[in-house]
Structure 1
Amino acid sequence: MHRFLLAFLALLPLTAQSVDLSKGWQVAVTDFEGEARLTGDRITVPKPANPRVPNSHVAARRGSDGTVTLQFSNTWIAQLRWQDGKPLDLNPYLAEGTLEFDLNVVDLAKGGMKFKLGCGKDCERKVPFLFAGRTLIGKGRQHLSFSLKCFWREGDDFSAVNLPFTLEGTGSGELQIANLRINKTGKATTACPDYRTQSTTPERLQESWAVDWWLPRHEAKLAEIRAHREAGRRVDLVFLGDSITQGWENEGKAAWTRHFAKHNAVALGFGGDRTENLLWRLQNGELDGMAPKAIVMMIGTNNTGERLEDPALTVAGIQRNLDEIRKRQPQAKVLLLALFPRGEKPDDLMRRHNAKINALLPALADGKRVVFLDLAHALTNTDGTLSKDILPDSLHLSPQGYDIWARSLEAPLTSLLAP
């Protein structure tokens, strides 16, 4: 009987203490526009008939030792996704559990990477790894161990996880992964952001498509401010934000010239920025060397778009930026804008999420030093939908949209810019 019991126990799966993701899970290989299954030794993701990114290429191969290689070039998003297995109950693993694997970064000089774990409908948690990943180029196989809590947020239910791991690449690169498993107890040796403080911790933008231009743009903006000062021009107005604010230099250029150039205004908008990225820029000189009367700030929609962050945490990041403005420009009055509508229809996920953020923003304004303004009514149709003429991609403004924005700011800025 004793020998029979031991033999029976030996046949039991190890899921109580460890999940080996090489068993019972299919590997899907995805491009932004296509998907394939890695059922054999190698696969290339097929292109659609009319690809939006015709020169992108995503392929994967499986080695005899179980290593899976992801090769990608000129792609928006390439993924190795472990799926189609029996959903895992990882709630018992959260206290001390780890996600562990061996990673070989063959090439990432022009690419980026993230690790993801799915946690149900409209729920995906990710750890960015661009900066850390690039330090591993050419160093061979490295063992990484992340605490499962790197992928957990308060209120998440990990009782039926059907996407236990995704390796995501952007741009161009080659990554190899092996020995992928989830342990119930383990020692985490690889750092990850604390989601509770991510929006308030200053950081450069960690995206492969931005890394080549983000710091040079920051230096160019410092030079622009310096040029105003050396020429004796007073900068009375500053805009702070993300790609929507950066758009004043492109689609919004005509409206900018008509409405704001007379104030020697400076647009400090950087595509992709989240609250922590703007905070880094402010702490590294972008508000120095001038004394504006008014500052217009809109930031936070990329906290939603990138990680669907708890609205209270995004608002904490906005508050942290307001504190930094007050510290560096105490004389300036701030026009705090509600996040613009995002998503074509009122019930779109991103729209609803930004609405929750906007509902919390009035509490940050006192009506004197900080004034809150919501322009949604000027940008939406009467039924709440978005017009392609104003927001062509349901996020960024057209020239017509920038004209509406500029005209909507005339009255509040007249008051804020008054002596």
Structure 2
Amino acid sequence: MNRLLLALLSLLPLTAQSLDLDNGRPAPGWSVTITDFEGEAKLDADRVTVPKPANPRVPNSHVAARRGDDGALTLQFSNSWIAQARWQGGAPLNLEPYLREGTVEFDLNVVDLAHGGLKFALGCGKDCERKVPFLFAGRELIGKGRRHIAFALKCFWRDGDDFGAVPAPFALQATGSGEVRIAHLRFNRKGHATTACPDYRTQSVTPEPLQEAWAVDWWLPRHEAKLAEIKAHRDAGRNVDLVFVGDSITQGWEKEGQAAWARHFAKYNAVALGFGGDRTENLLWRLQNGELAGMSPKVVVTLIGTNNTGERLEDPALTVAGIRRNLDEIRQRQPQAKVLLLALLPRDEKPDGALRRHNARINALLPALADGRQVFFLDVGPALTNPDGTLSKGILPDWLHLSEQGYDIWARSLESTLTPWLAPQAHR
């Protein structure tokens, strides 16, 4: 009995220091599920292809996975909105002892990622997931064979997260087209990180281009095109009196909102500096790289932050810090302009939706950023919602982006505020 007890005790240090999640096959009790935007399939055998629904929204996408003889898992994806290899199904893991000095480590072979993107995600309790982007770093590894990757577990942790019972401890998330292999996935209680990650506490205020595979081919060219648009106004002797800055909702003035723009704002030589997917740090990069130069607007309308919610469910105070940093940039570069700070527009069909409630917490903090002299706050959300707080598909078809009707409502909601500021006699 004593000899058996000693033998068992001798195993404890190894168990405490390392936790294998997949070493040629998932750890006992765990499984790997392969998903795309519209379906999923468990990798029970050597290979699997995610089946398509009867009427797919993304008919050309293809997501498949296989196990190699060496135990490595290969994820192949093409034209995908999202492709995942997700480890799940086992008893929730207690990763709290690993947080202080621990790492998540694996071998990675990026076979192809020229037209794709990559992120790594770690669950943090019920309905909680944290992601680390790997687009640019992943593309640097194309064709370089197997590389050892180690992230500090703190890369995935946010203040208040509970890592005591993690039901989905790891996911490889991809988009676009590519092929990636992963092997020897494990958690080490004490490890040495080989790969840097953003600091979540300063991410919203640290300027950077948008790091998304679906945007990387057009994002910088659009930035250059916007600089050319501003220059064309200047060369023609037209002063830009009105500027909108923001994300895809602002970019939509060029599509669904085109008619409303022509009716309400074109007469002011208005410019819409909206980029789909942008978070506060991406707008900040654009403002610091010329998008407010070469013009002297009377008004700058600002709407940014809902992608800080949608992509990483960021603490509202951190998102507000990013919005404040953008306001500071606008005031510094355009001190003569009045700045209209808009509340984040409603999202999720119902008022009790998680993202709606999260954005409401951000909106509650925004009025404090308005000084009533140069920066003013306006919430147009009530004009876009039904009396019971729900959203209409006729106004926000995907519960986030505006329809043609939605843009008309938005434009009319701004008129009483903007018209006096944009009058010919208004002070510059």
Runs of 4+ aligned residues of structure 1 deviating over 2 Å after TM superposition are: 1-15, 415-419
Corresponding residue for 2:138?
133
Residue 8 (structure 1) shift: 2.8
Letter in 1 for 2:251: Q
How far residue 40 of structure 1 moved from its aligned partner, in angstroms, is 1.0
Residues 220-369 of structure 1 aligned to structure 2 (within 5 Å): 220-369=225-374
Residue of structure 2 equivalent to 1:213: 218
Match of 1:32 among 37, 44, 66: 37
Q: 1:94–1:11: structure 2 CA closer, same or farther, 3 Å change rule? A: closer
**Deviations for 1:293-325, whole angstroms, at most 9, x for unmatched residues?**
100000000000000000000000000000111
Residues 392-412 of structure 1 show CA distances to partners (whole Å, capped at 9, x for unaligned) of 111111111111111111111
Q: Secondary structure at the match of 1:86?
A: coil
Query: How far did residue 359 of structure 1 move?
Result: 0.2
Q: CA deviation at 1:354?
A: 0.3
Q: 1:159 to 1:115 in 2, by over 3 A?
A: same
- TM-superposed CA distance for 1:121, in Å, is 1.9
Per the alignment, residue 17 of structure 1 pairs with 17
Q: Following the alignment from structure 2 to structure 1, what is the Cα–Cα distance between the partners of residues 2 and 125?
A: 42
* Aligned counterparts of 2:43 and 2:336: Cα–Cα separation in 1: 60
Aligned match of 2:67: 62
Query: 2:201 matched to which residue of 1?
Result: 196
Counterpart for residue 415 of structure 1: 420
2:109 matched to 1:104? Answer: yes
Which residue number corresponds to residue 152 of structure 1?
A: 157
Q: What are the superposed Cα offsets for residues 202-253 of structure 1, whole Å, 9 maximum, x if unpaired?
A: 0111111111111110000000000000110000000000000000000110
Q: What is the DSSP-based 3-state SS (H/G/I as helix, E as strand, rest coil) of the residue aligned with 1:156?
A: coil
SS for the counterpart of 2:114 is: coil
After superposition, give the CA deviation of every residue in 1:79-135 in whole Å (9 maximum; x if it has no partner): 000111121111111110101011000000000000000112221000000011101
What is the 5 A alignment of 1:119-130? 119-130=124-135
The match for 1:48 is: 53
Unaligned segments of structure 1, at least 5 residues = none
One-letter code of the match for 2:19? Answer: V
Give the distance between the partners of 2:253 and 2:118, measured in 1 at CA.
Answer: 30
Structure 1 position 56, deviation (Å):
0.5
- Compute the TM-score of the two structures, normalised by the length of structure 2: 0.96
Task: Name the aligned partner's letter for residue 18 of structure 1.
Answer: S
Matched, 1:72 2:97: no
- C-alpha separation in 1, matches of 2:315 and 2:12: 40
The aligned residue for residue 95 of structure 1 is 100
Could you tell me how far apart the structure 1 residues matched to 2:124 and 2:11 are?
A: 29
- Determine the structure 1 residue equivalent to 2:4: 4
3-state SS, counterpart of residue 132 of structure 1: helix
SS in 1 for 2:290: helix
Supply the AA of the counterpart residue of 2:308. N
Deviates more, 1:3-12 or 1:24-33: 3-12
Deviation at 1:150, TM superposition (A): 0.3
Give the Cα–Cα distance (whole angstroms) in 2 for the partners of residues 165 and 415 of structure 1. Answer: 54
Instruction: Tell me how far 1:14 sits from its aligned partner.
Output: 4.2
Aligned to 1:401, the other structure's residue is in SS state helix
**Residues 43-72 of structure 1: per-residue CA shift (max 9 Å, x gap):** 111111111111110000011221000000
Alpha-carbon distance in structure 2 between the residues aligned to 1:357 and 1:346: 15
The structural deviation recorded for 1:13 is 9.0
DSSP 3-state at the match of 2:289: helix
Which SS does the other structure have where 1:223 is aligned? helix
What does the per-residue CA deviation read over 1:2-49, in whole Å, with 9 as the maximum and x for residues that have no partner? 643443345669441111002122111111111111111111111111
Q: Aligned partners of 1:393 and 1:4: how far apart in 2?
A: 61
Corresponding residue SS for 2:208? coil
